[in-house]
Amino acid sequence: MNENGKKVLEAEHLVKIYRRGSEEIPAVNDVSLSVEVGEFVSFVGPSGSGKTTLINILGCLDNPTSGRLVLADRTVVDNGEVLSESSLTKIRREIFGYIFQKFYLIPTLTVIENIMLPFTFYKKPGAENEVARIMKLMEIDHRKEHLPGQISGGEMQRVAIARALVNRPSILLADEPTGNLDTRRSQEIGGLLKGLNEKEGITIILVTHNPALASMADRIIEIRDGKIHTKGMALS
């Protein structure tokens, strides 16, 4: 999967501390890791372990208290100093595609309009030519004129994945993407993510409670109490 072992993400000593009055709660505690281009990494761990906070920091949705983060050779955080919001927006739109547990589709837009929604704000050159192919890949091309309320939960998550893919991101961040789906549909989504990683070479960082889904990754990182408990555990 890896393209000559080139790193797309490097994190060093990331710390995220939440304050509740005078109490300091470390959600992420001195985490260092790297992800290579084309890798499929999953984060697992119990609820409240800090895995979602970590993925949000890695995805530039949240800022760490301290540490260093480099994404595609761009230093995003250095010793806790974060880029401006506009620079972060630029990084988000150019590097990441995000999938969440909830699908966040706009109910009055059709499937194809929801998928193309990111183009309203930013469009990579030639990205519009990818829409049909991505819809076919996600097996939702026959639903393109339907509204979200007219399709199943599994299809909605496929639409959300397609929306995350239209601007050809380098990294797909998926936070509990099957949390709202039944076992069969979870497996389908897992298969799709694995396919995207293998066939399209997209780097995937996944947070999940689902062991079957986690096992599809090249590498599983277990987080406990904001720290990496088990790193680089490869499952087949």
Rule CB under 8 A: choose which of 22, 120, 129, 236 binds another protein: 120
Contact between 86 and another protein by CB under 8 A: the answer reads: yes
Q: Strand pairing of 23-36 and 7-20?
A: antiparallel
Give the interface segment with another protein, choosing from 24-32, 75-83, 102-110, 224-232 (CB under 8 A): 102-110
Token code pair at residue 228: 């990496």
- Among positions 122-181, residues that touch another protein (CB under 8 A) are 122, 128, 163, 167
Write the interaction track for another protein spanning residues 39-58; mark x where CB under 8 A is met and - where it is not. Answer: -----------------x--
- Among positions 189-218, residues that touch another protein (CB under 8 A) are none
Q: Which residues pair with 29 in a beta bridge?
A: 15
Contact between 185 and another protein by CB under 8 A: the answer reads: no
Backbone φ, ψ for residue 198 (5° rounding): -75, -45
Give the interface segment with another protein, choosing from 17-25, 74-82, 92-100, 203-211 (CB under 8 A): 92-100
Rule CB under 8 A: choose which of 92, 143, 158, 185 binds another protein: 92
Query: 7 or 93, CB closer to another protein?
Result: 93
Quote the least distance from Cβ 118 to another protein, whole Å.
4
Contact between 19 and another protein by CB under 8 A: the answer reads: no
Contact between 18 and another protein by CB under 8 A: the answer reads: no
Strand order in the sheet with 66-71: 23-36, 7-20, 66-71, 74-78, 81-82
Binding site for another protein (CB under 8 A): 56, 59, 61-62, 85-86, 89-90, 92-94, 96, 98, 100, 102, 104, 106-109, 113, 116-122, 128, 163, 167
